[in-house]
Chains A and B, each alone.
Chain A
Amino acid sequence: AQTVTQSQPEMSVQEAETVTLSCTYDTSESDYYLFWYKQPPSRQMILVIRQEAYKQQNATENRFSVNFQKAAKSFSLKISDSQLGDAAMYFCALMDSSYKLIFGSGTRLLVRP
């Protein structure tokens, strides 16, 4: 069975600082995709970043980047220059060829002004 684990229920970061959210996963598939989703207090879930497992290069989207360690099955999210608007629940998710997403339990990110 595929699993996604987020071991940090809550993280806190000072505005303008950098924070890293951890995610590990387990799958027997060779072809899969990894996602980080953000859920602000308004509840609309939005995609932050995605990573194809066959790509060695880590994905980057502006202030958001990932550290993808395929052998270790690790997929962490780094947020640089944190902003108040980054405060949200962050979910790591795994997708295989069935197009279904398997989510982790989430990490609540608090941003201190």
Chain B
Amino acid sequence: DVKVTQSSRYLVKRTGEKVFLECVQDMDHENMFWYRQDPGLGLRLIYFSYDVKMKEKGDIPEGYSVSREKKERFSLILESASTNQTSMYLCASSLGGAVDEQFFGPGTRLTVL
């Protein structure tokens, strides 16, 4: 089974802190994605990556950056956390080169005080 893991289920940070959210997948997937989930808005794509060291902006990249140094790991970075970044963050991965389902991690509930 595909397994996507995220470093924390719950995280509490202070405004202005630098925050790292880590995601690891174990199925050699090329594509990886970061979403944020807010009530009434569904999931919105922040950033995605089709390969190591590649990254593409999604629909809401402002205030975020990403890093993909290894194929299995995709990190989301909040350079200076703000209260409006309080949300549920979901990571996903999928095979490359074809339309395929995305496999999701359990999510990280981030609260910025």
Interface residues of A (CB under 8 A from B): 4, 6, 9, 33, 35, 37, 42-47, 50, 91, 95, 97, 99-106
CB distance B104 to A45 under 8 Å?
Answer: yes
> Do A101 and B45 touch (CB < 8 A)?
yes
Measured between beta carbons, the chain A residues less than 8 angstroms from B48 are 99-100
Is B90 part of the contact surface with A, judged by Cβ < 8 Å? yes
Q: How far is the CA of A19 from the CA of B35 in the complex (A)?
A: 28
Contact of A106 among B42, B90, B102 (CB under 8 A): B42
B42 near A105: Cβ-Cβ < 8 Å: yes
Cβ contacts under 8 Å, A42 to chain B: 106
**Could you tell me the distance in whole angstroms from the C-beta of A58 to the nearest C-beta in chain B?**
18
**How many A-B contacts at CB < 8 Å in the complex?**
50
Task: Write the residues of chain B forming the contact surface with A, with a CB cutoff of 8 angstroms.
Answer: 31, 33, 35, 40-45, 48, 50, 58, 88, 90, 92, 94, 96, 99-102, 104-107
Nearest B residue to A106, CB-CB? B42
B-side contacts of A97, CB under 8 Å: 99
Q: Give Cα A97 to B97, complex, Å.
A: 10
On whether the beta carbons of A100 and B58 are closer than 8 Å, the reply is yes
A7: shortest Cβ distance to chain B, in Å? 12
For A35, what are the chain B residues with a Cβ–Cβ distance below 8 Å? 101
Q: Report B-chain residues with C-beta under 8 Å of the C-beta of A106.
A: 42
Does B45 lie within 8 Å of A46, measured CB to CB? no
**B94-A43 in contact (CB<8A):** no
Q: B101 contacts which chain A residues (CB < 8 A)?
A: 35, 47, 50
Which 7 A-B pairs rank lowest in CB-CB distance, beginning with the nearest? A45-B104, A103-B42, A103-B43, A105-B42, A47-B101, A43-B107, A33-B99
